[in-house]
Structure 1
Amino acid sequence: MRIRRRRAMRWAAGSAVLLVGTRVRFPVPAAAQEVARAASPIREVGTGRSLEEAELFARLAGADCVPVGETHDNPEHHRIQARVVRELAARPPGVGAVAFEMLTVDRQPLVDRMLRGPGADLDAFAEAVGWEESGWPDFTIYEPIFAAALESGARVLAADLASGTTARIRREGFAALDPGFVRRTGLDQPLPPELEAGLSDALARAHCDRLPASALPGLLRVQRARDAMMADRIARFRGRGRVVLITGNGHARRDWGVPYYLRRMVPERTVVSLGLIERGDGRDGVAAREPFDIVWFTVAPVRGRGDPCDAIGGSAGG
């Protein structure tokens, strides 16, 4: 498959996306690419055992659904994700679809039209979907994943809520969503209390504890709906092969993230989640504390990142 590329490599003006899609802009420096090439130990969470890369890919190959997390502006994470797609595509039954949090479901017809055939132009695709205006980091760091998907013959799935839906959920709750979707994904049932408390705390911390308490229920509903939509897109895919999900670590986690809804919707399918975790990002490198099946620890880009909390207004509490 020939994939045309015209885009110059640009590492400027990326963005970090917090758990519910609040985007805090900061640059992604050219130096980050080289910094992130440091050794990235892989650990099995249940045992804490170190895995060789061959063991990792063999484990992922045994799954039907593979959510792969990321820190959105980390180029090394996207190189790893692209490699996951290629490695799994080489192992029967291959990869049937690669689902992206970064694409909203209302764009699926456009995605299908732009990425059809061997001459797919990824630059034209990025322009057509308005990537540059979307708030996501520069398309060049995601491009290797799209290229891997197309080269493997996988379908690219738009997986996030349709544009404008999150605002309606904040106002109307799950009544803003299709009732059939709410029922089949389990959004009509509350999370277990310990998971709801954990998610609420994570959302508050993701917003630097500067949100009024009254805002948290709406944000929690949005987060749940986004996780449920990604799970629904995976569960309803009927093609041959595995589905790989490209998403933030907050959605890939196995406790209250996308795997939670997949376990409810398609319990017969095997899900193995891979978290790509930056050491020093509030983590101590102890795999047993991570909410994934497997973690791959990487280094963070060390230059060019400001404090994301500087871009979040308001004050804590309320």
Structure 2
Amino acid sequence: MRALLCLAALSCLLTAAAEAAPARLLNDHPLNGSLWDTRSGQPTTEDALFSAAAAADWVLIGEKHDNGEHHRLQARIVAALGRRGRRMAVVWEMAEPEHAGALAAARLEDVGSLEAALAWKARGWPDWDEYQPIAEAALAARMPMLPGKPSPSQVRALARGEDLAPDTAELLSRSRRYPPAVQSDLLEELAASHCGRLPEAALAPMAEVQRFWDASMADALRQATQPPHDAEGAILIAGSGHVREDRAVPWHLEGESLTVALVEVVAGRQTAADYPAFDPRLFDFVWFTPRVDDKDPCAAFSEERGPEEPVPD
């Protein structure tokens, strides 16, 4: 059950001390550092990305949690939107409802204290030092910050099939369901991403938790534009699986969303079209970065015990 609860959301971290590592692998890859507009199929500029983001209601930036370069680029996008005068909010997948007060009280001069206030290390996220520039950029631009992650109790009740709290049931009832083809694709991806080691009966509950997780983050983005925050729009910092447009957070949003996938390069994949993320149905922009490592994600699974530790998305 512990593995199910964690893996179901596609965004859980290694419970052992996770660290965001320098992305140094494949620094010489031809795509490294390049930014692409998936709609035109052509490389583009940071200024073009920032202009498009400044015109959107929602800006969703998808990361690989343990890649420090991804957090640096996220901070750059947040800072650029601040310079362009948009009073947006920043919603963190990494923060839970109980952290709303700490985020609201955060100050630029004491931003390092957020690590303890958010119980960052205790909850297994990579080093706060890697994420802190995002918070600094938000606070420098006077952007309110809000939690996006649903509470663990909500996720547990849903995964276990228990009676749901009224707020959980209400959010699920008004959130969009996936069309059959999309649901089928999600179930196949869940099975493949966990190396075929999960029982088939676990897949549907995992998909429902995924839908709830994404709907919760979409709701947090909406709340950012309402009193007392009254932001003009919101930026989501989350794993890339949560920002894809075909079934994740944008699926539950009204208005104009702009999505950016931060993608590690892969040896042997030399062109942007070689990457599944390079698809306008999934993301608007793809920004390529070096890799952190070449570990086999299936190494976390054993023949006897299944997944020993949850793996980041």
Instruction: Compare 170-179 and 270-279 and name the one that shifted more.
Output: 170-179
2:311 equivalent in structure 1: none
1:227 equivalent in structure 2: 214
1:260 equivalent in structure 2: 251
- How far did residue 20 of structure 1 move? 2.5
Matching residue within 93, 96, 110 for 1:101: 93
2:172 equivalent in structure 1: 182
1:236 equivalent in structure 2: 223
**Structure 1 Cα separation of the partners of residues 206 and 166 of structure 2:** 15
1:5 equivalent in structure 2: none
3-state SS of the aligned residue for 1:201? helix
- How far did residue 204 of structure 1 move? 1.7
1:68 equivalent in structure 2: 61
Q: Quick check: 1:246 aligned with 2:237?
A: yes
**Structure 2 Cα separation of the partners of residues 221 and 18 of structure 1:** 8
**Structure 1 Cα separation of the partners of residues 75 and 142 of structure 2:** 14
- How far did residue 246 of structure 1 move? 0.2
Taking only the aligned residue pairs, the percentage that are identical comes to 32
Matching residue within 286, 300, 304 for 1:311: 300
2:310 equivalent in structure 1: none
Q: Which amino acid aligns with 1:62?
A: A
The 5 Å alignment of 1:85-164 reads 85-92=78-85, 94-113=86-105, 115=106, 117-119=107-109, 121-164=110-153
1:42 equivalent in structure 2: 35
Contact 2:59 2:236 in 1 (8 A): yes
TM-score (norm 2): 0.82
Q: Quick check: 1:211 aligned with 2:204?
A: no
Q: Quick check: 1:192 aligned with 2:179?
A: yes
Contact 1:101 1:160 in 2 (8 A): yes
Q: 1:80 to 1:31 in 2, by over 3 A?
A: closer
**Structure 1 Cα separation of the partners of residues 268 and 183 of structure 2:** 21
Q: 1:223 to 1:281 in 2, by over 3 A?
A: farther
Q: 1:98 to 1:152 in 2, by over 3 A?
A: same
3-state SS of the aligned residue for 1:215? helix
**Structure 1 Cα separation of the partners of residues 267 and 61 of structure 2:** 18
Q: 1:73 to 1:95 in 2, by over 3 A?
A: farther
Map Cα deviations across residues 186-240 of structure 1 (whole Å, 9 max, x no partner): 3xxx310111111112222222221111111111111111100000011222213
Q: Which amino acid aligns with 2:233?
A: R
3-state SS of the aligned residue for 2:100? helix
Q: Which amino acid aligns with 2:149?
A: D
- How far did residue 163 of structure 1 move? 2.6
Q: 1:152 to 1:274 in 2, by over 3 A?
A: same
Q: Which amino acid aligns with 1:307?
A: D
Q: 1:37 to 1:236 in 2, by over 3 A?
A: farther
Q: Quick check: 1:201 aligned with 2:188?
A: yes
Q: Which amino acid aligns with 2:171?
A: F
Q: 1:53 to 1:173 in 2, by over 3 A?
A: farther
Q: Quick check: 1:52 aligned with 2:41?
A: no
Contact 2:10 2:241 in 1 (8 A): no
1:3 equivalent in structure 2: none
**Structure 2 Cα separation of the partners of residues 166 and 282 of structure 1:** 39
Q: 1:315 to 1:301 in 2, by over 3 A?
A: closer
TM-score (norm 1): 0.81
Q: 1:31 to 1:46 in 2, by over 3 A?
A: closer
Map Cα deviations across residues 1-43 of structure 1 (whole Å, 9 max, x no partner): xxxxxxxxxxxxxxx9885234335865765369769742111
**Structure 2 Cα separation of the partners of residues 167 and 270 of structure 1:** 32
Q: Which amino acid aligns with 1:183?
A: S
Q: Quick check: 1:292 aligned with 2:278?
A: no
Map Cα deviations across residues 106-130 of structure 1 (whole Å, 9 max, x no partner): 32123223x1x453x2332211221
- How far did residue 248 of structure 1 move? 0.4
Contact 2:59 2:234 in 1 (8 A): yes
Q: Quick check: 1:166 aligned with 2:155?
A: yes
**Structure 2 Cα separation of the partners of residues 155 and 29 of structure 1:** 25
**Structure 1 Cα separation of the partners of residues 18 and 198 of structure 2:** 25
3-state SS of the aligned residue for 1:240? coil
**Structure 2 Cα separation of the partners of residues 71 and 282 of structure 1:** 20
**Structure 1 Cα separation of the partners of residues 153 and 114 of structure 2:** 21
**Structure 2 Cα separation of the partners of residues 37 and 57 of structure 1:** 26
Q: Which amino acid aligns with 1:107?
A: H
**Structure 2 Cα separation of the partners of residues 162 and 232 of structure 1:** 13
